[in-house]
Amino acid sequence: MKRFLKIRWIAACALTVAAVVFWGFKSGDDRNFQVAKNIDIFNSIVKELDMFYVDTLDPNKTIREGIDAMLYSLDPYTEYYPEEDRGELEQMLKGSYGGIGSIIRYEPKLKHTVIAEPYENMPAAEVGLKAGDILLEIDGQDLTGNTDVSKMLRGQVGTSFRLKVERPGEEKPLEFTVVRRSIQLPLIPYYGKLDGQVGYINLSTFSGNPSKDFKNAFLDLKKQGITSLVIDLRNNGGGLLEEAVEIANFFLPRGKMIVTTKGKIKQASNSYKTLREPLDTDIPLAVLVNSGTASASEILAGALQDYDRAVIVGNRTFGKGLVQVPRPLPYGGTMKVTTSKYYIPSGRCVQAIDYKHRNPDGSVGRIPDSLTTVFHTAAGREVRDGGGVTPDVSVKQDKLPNILFYLVNDNLIFNYATQYCLKHTSIAPPEKFEVTDADYADFKEMVKKADFKYDQQSEKILKSLKEMAEFEGYLADASEEFTALEQKLSHNLDRDLDYFAKEIKNMIAQEIVKRYYFQRGGIVQQLKDDNDLNEAVKVLGDLTKYKEMLGVPVAAK
């Protein structure tokens, strides 16, 4: 009864306030009236459901789903973070969090979480945790079936906990005391000098303060005598706009416009120029990009392209031309809201997804190339908006074989690396490490013992074709051809493991190297056979061609 009277009182107050707002706005701004009207309707729906719906509502869950659906109808970057999720937002903005510094994953077959990759010089690695360790208990609490162990591992910096793990090759569980630290994700996981005096810097994020680390890495490479530089922005999802401007300033003169933002309100519209003297305006640059290069990464790559300062190599970038800022909300919540679009020096916006014009089913698609607009670089080269940054040199990407996907998905490569480490206390440096034929023979034997099964897409397609031929009445006449094709496409594990040995060996080597040399070792292994990097080095090695690519087109002279 008390609950009923309380809800009636709240409803009465809400209706009174709504009535005042209703008539106040009705006589003035119709748009404000529409906002107030619909807020009142939403409040009324929640109250009616809370009172009359057959089951008891969880207000946090029900209203949160309504909020999320409302925000997603705008764009996928405007998001609500309640107080309990603010840590996730802070990690996104700062690139750091309180924890142990390790990638973990839940394994359904084991019903436990496993250490997948500890970060170098972080608490997990320093106490001796290794990839493959199975997490059993935290402070005595059983973790069996717990799919969200990450929340238990994270916490206030300086706090500690006891962790019990099961390690392959060890008879008894191991226990570790781990002290949480502020975990800064590697901003530059690797940089070094390649053959031919070419420098290489892998920049993983624009969160935190990567410009400082980038500057130090570049100056160190200059001391080593590099004569050109490759900046790797592949799979860099962005971060802070100001950091992209700062790094662009290292290679562009002072006073250059890097990016402008345009929003509905004055505060959302800004211009960002280079403010300092550059480090080097002459060194030849190549920037590696792919479909995972987004946001602040596209600002840096796009600005260097628009000023004809670097050759962009790889594949078209993601196309995120929207800017978000955090806005405080009641009860400790925060909303990350899209406030503006950004435009790089040529005047183009790289936004690729058209969220304003949704399909009837609510889905969205990329802006078609036919609707994009031509802009020009400082030297007069044509570039387009509406679809990310298109590279100057496009590189065809090798498709991973189907069998490799299943080997990774079934953890066979991961488990083999774990067993390999039990037998080898050390390995050669990543630049020289190789998976031998004997190692690969051991791996194939392990795969066979695991009774490994995988789908062959060719068999699936052939089966569908056969069913369609039968439906259309062609099967009888083509039965011999189908039989012959079925025999040629029969499932043959030995054949596939040998045919795709190069790709599988590379993946095994990368997993093994990371166990000894962490993320930087994995990158070195990846760069050994990297089509994008090879093309970038080729371009930088031919200075005449490099200058021609960045020069004024013949038609524009």
Residues with a known catalytic role: 295, 306, 320
Angle between helices 59-72 and 30-52 (to 10 degrees): 150
> What is the pairing mode between strands 190-194 and 198-202?
antiparallel
Q: Which residues is 201 bridged to in the sheet?
A: 191, 231
The structure tokens listed for 529 are 């056979």
The structure tokens listed for 520 are 């930087």
Contact at 8 Å (CB) between 155 and 180? yes
Contact at 8 Å (CB) between 101 and 183? yes
Alpha carbon 198 to its chain's center: 27
The residue among 203, 207, 161 whose CA lies nearest residue 183 is: 207
Contact at 8 Å (CB) between 115 and 132? yes
Q: Name the residue type at position 63.
A: I
Torsion, Cα 349 353 358 360, to 10 degrees, reads: 150
Taking CA atoms, 253 is separated from 216, 218, 244, 296, 549, in Å, by 19, 17, 15, 19, 21
The structure tokens listed for 22 are 């209703």
Contact at 8 Å (CB) between 252 and 278? yes
> What is the spatial distance between Cα 289 and Cα 299, in angstroms, rounded to a whole number?
12
> What is the pairing mode between strands 334-343 and 160-166?
unpaired
Ordered DSSP codes for 445-477? HHHHHTT-----HHHHHHHHHHHHHHHHT-TTT
The residue among 337, 326, 324, 349 whose CA lies nearest residue 259 is: 349
